Amino acid sequence: MTDAPAPTPNAERLAEEILTRMLSALEILTIEVGARRGLYEALAAHGPMTPRELSSSAGIHARYAREWLEQQAVAGILTVSGPATSAPDDDYGRRFSLPAEHRRVLLDRDDPCYMAAGPQFIASIATTLPEVLEAFGTGGGVPYERYGEGTREGIAGLNRPMFQPEMLRSWVAALPDVHRRLTDGSGARVLDLGCGLGWSTIALAHAFPRARLTGIDLDAASVEQARRNAAGAGLGDRIAFVNTDAAGAGLDGAVDLVTVFEALHDMADPIGALTSVRRLLTPSGAVLVADEQVSEDFTAPGPDLDRLNYAFSVLHCLPATRAEGAKVEAGTVLRPATVRAYADEAGYGSTEVLPVAHDLWRFYRLSP
Ligand SMILES: C[S@@+](CC[C@H](N)C(=O)[O-])C[C@H]1O[C@@H](n2cnc3c(N)ncnc32)[C@H](O)[C@@H]1O
């Protein structure tokens, strides 16, 4: 038997990093447990609770209530008061609370700090891992709908806090001529491509009360939910949602603004999609693309945003796009040079990066 090799600094560093990332992955899933089982909601509704109180209020087993409460407190998500020493009984006097500021992050879907959709998205991606593993071998894909409600709701939940009318107004204001047309003229027309659950389309409708809106998405379940969301917002008669491929939408009529929020990189034929909407644009119309704010060039090791988007790409966006029968698959890491190349091939006269401040996305104007 040979001796095991001595640890080296780089091997130790990676081993430690993997341990840290295991901690993050595990805690993310425990947040999803709390969200799915309504535990944060129960704590928000009833204030400080013992494990037994949470157990009866949320309808979960008392032993699990205790373990989860202790774990969440140790993770710094809940606060705890009461005796320092544990007793075997679940009603041992400790009370656990969800601080008001953490409630915003975990429960308030419109709050700019809302992040519970992230764990939801991660948990749903994990369920398709066997299919992704198979696709790595066959070169095939994993259809978007296979990722299920957790992905639809997770993506929508992550982006929804940004889709506030004042935010949409400020983004469109980076295209002053288009903004003027949407504000002054009646009957201006807006297409929202890859609209998902429709929150961006709804916010655009609120931001520009005179505009007529159409949301387009390839995923049937998303379009159905978008229609329900628009009806719930009282906008059912101002927004039409169409379940179709943006590349072959077969739409007609003149359009003043096309928006594509975090969806161009998901399209199997982004050049086809940009070409089909260019033909609809009025001479002064434009396409507003928002996509990932990744490095301009391949960088390794890379910054966190590149890492985040590559990881989404490996596990979700690339397999979902390949399942569409991809002609060009960018993956999630859509760089400015690629957007420019797509726009050139789709026949646009100019592509510019807009001076819109944003933590995650880069904004582009494509003009015919
Ligand atoms: C990351 S999600 C973004 C959804 C939405 N824009 C948002 O920000 O919440 C990408 C969306 O693009 C849609 N999509 C993918 N390929 C498409 C295509 N060829 N035509 C239309 N929509 C497509 C997906 O169904 C999905 O809803």
Structure token pair of residue 19? 């341990």
pLDDT at position 284 is 92
Instruction: Tell me the CA–centroid distance for residue 194 and ligand 1, in Å.
Output: 3
Best probe residue, ligand 1, of 202, 219, 271, 342 (max atoms within 8 Å of C-beta): 219
- Can you give the pLDDT of all 368 residues of the chain as single tens digits? 678 888 899 999 999 999 999 999 999 999 999 999 999 999 999 989 999 999 999 999 999 999 999 999 999 999 999 877 766 666 677 999 999 999 999 999 999 999 999 999 999 999 999 999 999 999 999 999 999 999 999 999 999 999 999 999 999 999 999 999 999 877 899 999 999 999 999 999 999 999 999 999 999 999 999 999 999 999 999 999 999 999 986 778 899 999 999 999 999 999 999 999 999 999 999 999 999 999 999 999 999 999 999 999 999 999 999 999 978 888 999 999 999 999 999 999 999 999 999 999 999 999 99
How much is the CA Rg of the chain, to the nearest whole Å? 23
**Any atom of ligand 1 within 6 Å of the Cβ of 151:** no
Buried b (16+ CB within 10 A) or exposed e, 256-292: bbbbbbbbbbbbbbbbbbbbbbbebbbeebbbbbbbb
pTM of the model: 0.94
Instruction: Tell me the CA–centroid distance for residue 152 and ligand 1, in Å.
Output: 9
Instruction: Tell me the CA–centroid distance for residue 135 and ligand 1, in Å.
Output: 21
**Any atom of ligand 1 within 6 Å of the Cβ of 222:** yes
CA distance 157 to 252: 31
Task: Report the candidate in 170, 230, 169, 146 with the shortest Cα–Cα distance to residue 195.
Answer: 230
pLDDT at position 186 is 76
State the distance between the two ends of the chain, measured CA to CA, in whole angstroms. Answer: 70
pLDDT at position 327 is 84
User: Could you tell me where the beta strands, DSSP code E, fall in the chain?
Assistant: 79-81, 95-97, 189-193, 212-217, 239-243, 255-261, 281-292, 350-353, 361-367
Best probe residue, ligand 1, of 120, 125, 214, 217 (max atoms within 8 Å of C-beta): 217
Structure token pair of residue 203? 């916010």
pLDDT at position 90 is 60
The full set of domains in the chain, from first to last, is 9-107 (1.10.10.10), 125-367 (3.40.50.150)
